[in-house]
Amino acid sequence: MTLRLGDEAPNFKAMTTEGEIDFHEWGGDSWVVFFSHPADFTPVCTTEIGRAANLSDEFKKRNAKRIVLSVDPIEDHHEWVKDVEETQNAKMDYPIIADEDREIANMYDMIHPKADDTATVRSVFVIDPDKKIRLTLTYPPAIGRNFDEILRVIDALQLSDDYDIATPVDWTKGEKVVVKPSIDTETAKEQFGDVEELRPYLRLTPDPSTK
């Protein structure tokens, strides 16, 4: 199944390390970061699980929940959590989905045969409170994710939803943003105040959330 930006994230029921969930009900009115791992007890995955746990406060600031999938059994997940907490100095506060039959992995196209016939690659889905997929990232199995980038993207998505702006290259919260081409300069000045016109099509304005 090919999922595209703007599609509704498929719903499912699954057993997790925090009990059985209905995915849409569990997400509620929060943003969701849903990511997958090739297998339990693997080194790169362990560092990622721990990093996402240690960033708990940052995700909460953004009203974002985390949930992770692996195709191993729930018993292995519980044992793996112990290793994550011990080796990464982390406290797990989000669930790991057990997907032994790979039903969810296939639903979200997380298995790429050219990388591995059975294990999930490192997929990331950022899903908004309306259950729409807003971002997808796919890393090869050997490459660890950058959670700072995932947080940055959530900031940009939330800001663009609130203020109808775009964000330039390498943007981080508080930096100047881009006025969309669909908004003329006079309207932009009325809407945002200060507008810096580098070219008629390239205009910057201060981050409106900081005013």
Give the model's pLDDT for residue 31: 98
- Range 21-30 average pLDDT: 98
User: Is 44 among the domain residues?
Assistant: yes
Give the model's pLDDT for residue 119: 54
Catalytic residue among 9, 32, 33, 45: 45
Q: Are residues 27 and 80 in the same domain?
A: yes
Q: Are residues 138 and 175 in the same domain?
A: no
Q: Are residues 175 and 127 in the same domain?
A: no
User: Is 205 among the domain residues?
Assistant: yes
Cβ(45)–Cβ(36) below 8 Å: no
Cβ(178)–Cβ(165) below 8 Å: yes
Domain count, the chain: 2
Give the model's pLDDT for residue 8: 98
User: Is 89 among the domain residues?
Assistant: yes
DSSP symbols for 19-33: EEEEHHHHHTTSEEE
137 is catalytic: no
Q: Are residues 185 and 140 in the same domain?
A: no
Tens of pLDDT, residue by residue over 167-196, are 999 999 999 999 999 999 999 999 999 999
Q: Are residues 34 and 92 in the same domain?
A: yes
What does the block give as tokens for 54? 């240690």
Mean pLDDT of the chain: 92
Cβ(122)–Cβ(35) below 8 Å: yes
Q: Are residues 133 and 195 in the same domain?
A: no
Domain limits for position 171: 164-210
Candidates 96, 142, 95, 125; CA nearest to 1 is 125
Give the model's pLDDT for residue 120: 56
Answer yes or no: is pLDDT of 1 > 70: no
Tens of pLDDT, residue by residue over 57-89, are 999 999 999 999 998 899 999 999 999 999 999
User: Is 159 among the domain residues?
Assistant: no
